[in-house]
């Protein structure tokens, strides 16, 4: 969840690291720091707050040197303050370490170190690991080996980078469960937890897998396992440009990413949609096509927004392919000893491809013998590498913590998968063509909604001071109600709940009064009349109704206080269009409330710890 960067080369390490940490701010953090080596001296600067606060500290006492490590911390052990910020050092101030993850046995290690006479100052598991490495180094005088032996004994998850004046010509990087990669430049190397910190300097990267480490110098690197076995390290090329992680004239990354959706949705099915055949071409699934054809059950495992997309996918796949689908919270999957058969197919869905719980679900499903596939955005991510096959959503880097374009692209890819599976089973060419033609129109329909966003600003201004919201939808749009409520909670800090509209009478109706705005997703489908009845029930309790409805629906205007219209499409694709107004509503309410839209409090973009 935090950000790591390390540099060794010819440039000013501190300035390069600060710039890289700015690129990593979107991941979520509460403190920042850097450590560098110059003239055999280790200098550490760290501060609770933003990278801008760290920069102020550095202006007073600038760091120097051509080797260093930096960090943005999201607190797990210990309050977010200067003392608990990273980097941490050993007792002598000769070893510095930055760390993402959680060392689960840090208490027993801490007790052991205190008994041996070492001193610990912070509340963090990271300082314990740093001092533990020093305690081993004192016995063997080999930094890389001390790191390796310490990590072999450490339990839990980590991505770390270590430098030391004891051996000032190297960075030691290692991972288990927390992403880490090495950027390879011209006589310079950058260690980072995210490719966004590297892309400005090089496209060539080495991805570390779990239980692997790299010893990096200005002359090159050596990669091996934590068990001290040599590995065959493969170099990958990053597939996005620097401009994709800039705001591009928008006030916030979230707004930029909302407005990118016509193009990102088009990219999700570019070259994959065959409208004349009513078919989808998914090259990433060809290696497992027979397993998919025979699968008695499909399981979709995901967290957060990706879980909501999976719910839409469940409806689509079951409708088109007539295959039973179960949607699982990845965070619960491995802990409930799931019933899996070798014929089952599990799709792991994650924007980052690094979500810790979803990655754990992948490993559990593989252990049980199921076919495990990925639906991810980030090429080279852990889930992409550890699954047997899969489909990339091609949404490009998503910087805003609240996911927007990834959600609609995930639904788009799930629609392609449903079409792909359906045509292999019972779906006729005629019906396939109708679905494909509707998919083809979606980007223009998204743009139509974006071009008419002013009305949503007016609604946002009226309801900015509401303390609670309720979102209601049915069928394909029930998951969108959940997603709309999540977006509002994430960035405006207003309590919001999403429900299946018919379930309103089974408890949530007690909350309705004149102070409760209720958002209905009321598209015209086979249960439209049922939703209208639900609206009448809310109106009878004086609730304020905001409706998302199809163009040409004159009936809804007589019932709702505010109506946001979307273009007409087939029912299974309406979630892509109904999600847009809810993303914009959350964004504009957050602006009205003065919230930090791109970096909401307490949240991180990629959840890489449990």
Q: So which residues are the catalytic ones?
A: 2, 605
Beta-carbon contacts of 321 under 8 Å, excluding residues fewer than 6 positions away, are 418, 421, 422, 424, 425, 426, 427
In this structure, what token pair is assigned to residue 493?
């800090």
Strand 235-237 and strand 220-225: the pairing is unpaired
By three-state DSSP, how is residue 7 classified? strand
- Cα–Cα distance measured from residue 357 to residue 303, given in angstroms and rounded to the nearest whole number: 8
- Cα–Cα distance measured from residue 244 to residue 255, given in angstroms and rounded to the nearest whole number: 14
- Cα–Cα distance measured from residue 129 to residue 298, given in angstroms and rounded to the nearest whole number: 41
Q: Residues 56, 57, 62, 64: is their CA dihedral positive or negative?
A: negative
Strand 95-103 and strand 156-164: the pairing is antiparallel
Contact in structure between 18 and 51 (CB atoms under 8 Å): yes
By three-state DSSP, how is residue 125 classified? helix
In this structure, what token pair is assigned to residue 175?
């991972």
Q: Max CA-CA distance within the chain? A: 80
In this structure, what token pair is assigned to residue 97?
């370490």
Of 374, 377, 348, which is closest to residue 361 (Cα–Cα)?
348
- Cα–Cα distance measured from residue 522 to residue 527, given in angstroms and rounded to the nearest whole number: 9
Contact in structure between 407 and 261 (CB atoms under 8 Å): no
Contact in structure between 574 and 556 (CB atoms under 8 Å): no
Of 85, 163, 159, which is closest to residue 127 (Cα–Cα)?
85
Phi (first) and psi of residue 506, to 5 degrees: -100, 35
In this structure, what token pair is assigned to residue 343?
């014929």
Cis bond upstream, residue 87 (ω within 30): yes
SS (HEC) of 440-462: HHHHHHHHHHHCCCHHHHHHHHH
In this structure, what token pair is assigned to residue 487?
């977006």
């Amino acid at each position: 969840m935090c950000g790591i960067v390390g540099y060794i080369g010819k440039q000013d390490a501190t300035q390069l690291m600060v710039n890289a940490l700015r690129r990593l701010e979107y991941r979520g953090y509460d403190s920042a720091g850097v450590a560098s080596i110059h003239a055999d001296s280790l200098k550490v600067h760290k501060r609770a707050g933003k990278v801008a606060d760290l920069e102020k500290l550095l202006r007073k006492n600038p760091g120097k040197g051509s080797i260093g490590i930096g960090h943005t911390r999201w607190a797990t052990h210990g309050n977010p303050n200067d003392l608990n910020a990273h980097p941490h050092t050993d007792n002598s101030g000769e070893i510095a370490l930055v760390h993402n993850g959680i060392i689960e046995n840090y208490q027993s290690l801490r007790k052991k170190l205190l008994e041996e006479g070492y001193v610990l100052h912070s509340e963090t598991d990271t300082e314990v690991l740093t001092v533990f490495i020093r305690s081993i180094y004192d016995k063997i005088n080999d930094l890389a080996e001390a790191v390796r032996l310490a990590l072999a004994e450490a339990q839990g998850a980590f991505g770390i980078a270590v430098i030391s004046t004891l051996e000032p010509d190297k960075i030691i990087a290692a991972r288990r469960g927390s992403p880490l990669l090495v950027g390879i430049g011209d006589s310079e190397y950058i260690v980072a937890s995210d490719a966004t910190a590297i892309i400005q300097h090089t496209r060539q990267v080495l991805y570390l897998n779990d239980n692997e480490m790299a010893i990096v110098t200005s002359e090159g690197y050596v990669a091996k396992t934590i068990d001290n076995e040599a590995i065959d390290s493969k170099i990958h090329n990053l597939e996005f440009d620097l401009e994709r992680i800039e705001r591009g004239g928008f006030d916030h990354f979230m707004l930029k990413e909302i407005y990118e959706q016509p193009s990102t949705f088009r990219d999700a099915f570019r070259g994959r949609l065959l409208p004349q055949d009513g078919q989808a071409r998914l090259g990433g699934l060809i290696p497992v096509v027979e397993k998919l054809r025979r699968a008695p059950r499909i399981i979709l495992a995901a967290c957060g927004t990706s879980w909501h997309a999976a719910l839409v996918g469940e409806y689509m796949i079951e409708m088109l392919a007539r295959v039973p689908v179960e949607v699982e919270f990845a965070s619960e999957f491995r802990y409930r000893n799931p019933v899996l058969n070798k014929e089952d197919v599990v799709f792991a869905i994650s924007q980052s491809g690094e979500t810790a719980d979803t990655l754990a679900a992948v490993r559990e499903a593989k252990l049980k013998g199921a076919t495990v596939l990925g639906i991810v955005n980030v090429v080279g991510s852990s889930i992409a590498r550890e699954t047997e096959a899969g489909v990339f959503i091609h949404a490009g880097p998503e910087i805003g913590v609240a996911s927007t374009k990834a959600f609609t692209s995930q639904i788009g890819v799930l629609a392609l998968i449903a079409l792909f599976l359906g045509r292999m089973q019972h779906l006729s060419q005629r019906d396939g063509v109708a679905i494909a033609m509707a998919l083809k129109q979606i980007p223009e329909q998204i743009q139509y909604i974006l071009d008419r966003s002013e009305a949503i600003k007016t609604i946002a201004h009226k309801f900015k001071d509401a303390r609670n919201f309720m979102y209601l939808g049915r069928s394909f749009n029930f998951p969108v109600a959940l997603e709309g409520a999540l977006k509002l909670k994430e960035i405006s800090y207003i309590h919001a709940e999403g429900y299946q509209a018919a379930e309103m009478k089974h408890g949530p109706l007690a909350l309705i009064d004149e102070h409760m705005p209720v958002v209905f997703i009321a598209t015209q489908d086979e249960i439209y009349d049922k939703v209208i009845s639900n609206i009448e029930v809310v109106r009878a309790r004086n609730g304020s109704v905001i409706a998302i409805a199809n163009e040409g629906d004159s009936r809804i205007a007589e019932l709702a206080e505010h109506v946001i219209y979307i273009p007409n499409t087939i029912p299974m694709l309406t979630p892509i269009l109904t999600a847009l107004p809810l993303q914009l509503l959350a964004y504009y309410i957050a602006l009205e409330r003065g919230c930090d839209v791109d970096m909401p409090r307490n949240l991180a973009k990629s959840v890489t710890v449990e």
